[in-house]
Structure 1
């Protein structure tokens, strides 16, 4: 059994185990797992509308996953993606609604505004980590709550006391009549191409630039990096800023693509926190994040069909989805098992 075969078998076995245990849970709860999984499949791939909505759901997950993965790769744990996403969302819709410009100028500026807002929200924990050694996990968690209340206050301010911002100008929108018509009038938009472009950007920064090498080096060993002449403090701040920019763009996907505005939030969106799972599923690599986001986004959207089509309660659906993700995330254990089996066969 070659390493290539093992690499293919690990995710396949992981997903099958997750589906199997999920089926057992449904069975013991008194529901038909076959109907449940047919409903899940149809919710993801049932028709062109479902496919369009699934891809649309994947877009912000890719960017949230990149934000977490980038910080991980540089030795930091950014749990503030949720807050950075929210401020990015607000910045995008504010700039998108407040100005009237040609699309070729307006759309890039709104995306840039989202990235800058997210970067600014990542700058604070970056500076505190670099200068005062305050742990980024604590600061980023607190910054999430600050972002939630600041954004809600800003929405109220710019909308004259309302709970919702104005709709963005058509010139700032990521929506596409072509993609919508192609997928039976789904809300699929051009955001998926922005997300995929950012995958390439992250790969290029980390693998092809001196800055990327320094960022990874500082994350791996600060003392050795400092001894080699690298500016450790600058790289810590830069890492959180870039991570925040990816998160801000994830917010832009919702603001400029899916909704076209922003409504006062009663709580967190959850996308930023799900980005942690996406990054872990993707082993913190740009390509892996695409697969992690695809799995996570597909399950999240497709699962909505299970209560309607198979009468399975949302609580059971959540357990089944969590089990599938759990087994995929536990792929390392399966990999170790397969490698030991390989060694036994070679020994014989």
Structure 2
């Protein structure tokens, strides 16, 4: 029985990754078509995007640094989705984590570097988790819709942190909304000089590995998966569903908060108003592209990081509109979010191959 369950699980996972791969290929092909229709060279565009992003040290570092916050938000969405909860609040949780980490970094001083950085990440973890926990409480005890709650909290948190950065916590003499610079002891180490790639990427990879282990090897991971697969079965098995919802969704928000700490401690060295370019919402497509697998999120985030890095390269080296790269990312989201469409395309492709084979066989028979 266990072998049958494991086999079914492997088949579902393989199908999910296949659908994601096909979605990516179709998106890239359609992207080439759109670029060509717009009057630009698809080959030149893709060389600019992938050649520099992957072919140079600084380009590769830029891709990884762009991917780092996306890894956190992708993991956040993937974890919540394991219990079939939709965390659309990762953007707000990211901001809450960034503000908490920036405050720890700026106003707590005279600490060893390791401890200071740890406290910054811990504060971000707790801040993001608290925001998500509020949503989960409303979901469990008031039957509120977590999607709407998360979206509304995004606005509240972003506006509140904007008020703090422009008001009581604003850095004196600054023309933009930002807090004081964090202490040197709170700054993350750069892995490559003159880049934004920091040790935060190791935190993201570690988080993915821990999540993978928890989901596959622990009782709590089993409870998460059973709750997500079949709520009735979870109740019959004696799983405390409400507790599972609360803990899982809170952990989801906490992981998104870590992404905020990565930006505040490793890139901006403070909280800056509007620092996110939609990292929280991008995590949705990243998680879907990875088939909601924590380890897969690392690779799908890197892919989107390459595209984002390529956008910067296009802007610097060519006159090709960067919006075309954004369209490719949107196409990935559309196809990944529509698995039925991918399955239909694959069926059409299979039928075409079968018909083609029949035609060739008939043609060969007529000549024989």
- Calculate the TM-score normalised by the size of structure 2: 0.83
Give the distance between the partners of 1:129 and 1:11, measured in 2 at CA. Answer: 30
Q: Check whether the contact 1:22–1:324 (CA below 8 A) recurs between aligned residues.
A: no
Q: Is the 8 A contact 1:79 1:140 kept in 2?
A: yes
Give the secondary structure class of the aligned counterpart of 2:206.
Answer: helix
Paired position in structure 2 for 1:167: 181
- CA shift, 1:14, in A, is 4.4
Q: Where in structure 2 are the equivalents of 1:151-166 lying within 5 Å?
A: 151-155=161-165, 156-159=167-170, 163-166=177-180
For residue 160 of structure 2, what is the aligned residue in structure 1? 150
User: CA 1:340/1:20 → structure 2, altered by over 3 Å: closer, same or farther?
Assistant: closer
Q: Does 1:118 align with 2:128?
A: yes
Q: Is the 8 A contact 2:335 2:341 kept in 1?
A: no
More displaced 10-residue stretch of structure 1: 19-28 or 107-116:
19-28
The residue that corresponds to 1:220 in the other structure is 229
Assess if the C-alpha contact under 8 Å between 1:174 and 1:257 holds in 2: yes
1:208 counterpart residue number? 217
Contact 1:79/1:137 (<8 A) preserved: yes
Shift of 1:109: 0.9
Q: Which residue of the partner structure matches residue 308 of structure 1?
A: 316
Contact 1:203 1:286 in 2 (8 A): yes
After superposition, residues 319-334 of structure 1 pair within 5 angstroms as 319-324=327-332, 326-327=334-335
| 1:180 counterpart residue number | 192
Asked if structure 1 preserves the Cα contact closer than 8 Å seen for 2:116 and 2:186, the reply is: yes
Q: Partners of 2:284 and 2:184 in 1: how far apart?
A: 32
1:76 and 1:202 map into 2 onto residues whose CA distance is 17
Q: Which runs of 5+ in 1 are unaligned?
A: none
Render the CA deviation track for 1:241-287: whole Å, top value 9, x for unaligned. Answer: 10011100011111111111111238x63000000000000000112
Residue number in structure 1 paired with 2:100:
91
The answer for the alignment partner of 1:62 in structure 2 is 71
CA contact (8 A) 1:278 1:292 kept: yes
**Cα drift, residue 205 of structure 1:** 1.9
- 1:232 maps to what in 2? 241
Shift of 1:110: 0.7
SS of the residue 1:300 aligns to: helix
Separation in structure 1 between the aligned mates of residue 332 and residue 221 of structure 2, nearest angstrom:
33
Counterpart residue number, 1:20: 29
Bigger Cα displacement from structure 2, 123-132 vs 199-208: 199-208
Deviation for aligned residue 1:339: 11
In 1, Cα distance between equivalents of 2:74 and 2:310: 19
Contact 2:49 2:306 in 1 (8 A): no
Which of these two proteins has the greater Rg computed from alpha carbons?
Answer: 2
Aligned length: 338
Whether the aligned pair in 2 keeps the contact of 1:49 and 1:186 (CA below 8 Å) is yes
C-alpha displacement at 1:6, in angstroms? 8.7
Asked if structure 2 preserves the Cα contact closer than 8 Å seen for 1:123 and 1:237, the reply is yes
Give matches, 1:188-337, under 5 Å: 188-265=197-274, 269-324=277-332, 326-327=334-335, 337=346
Q: CA RMSD in A?
A: 2.8
Distance (Å, rounded) in 2 between the aligned partners of 1:137 and 1:152? 23
SS in 1 for 2:168: helix
Alignment deviations for residues 292-327 of structure 1 (CA, whole Å, 9 cap, x no partner): 111111111212222332211233332244335545
Displacement after TM superposition at 1:12 (Å): 5.8
**Cα distance in 2, alignment partners of residues 114 and 211 from structure 1:** 23
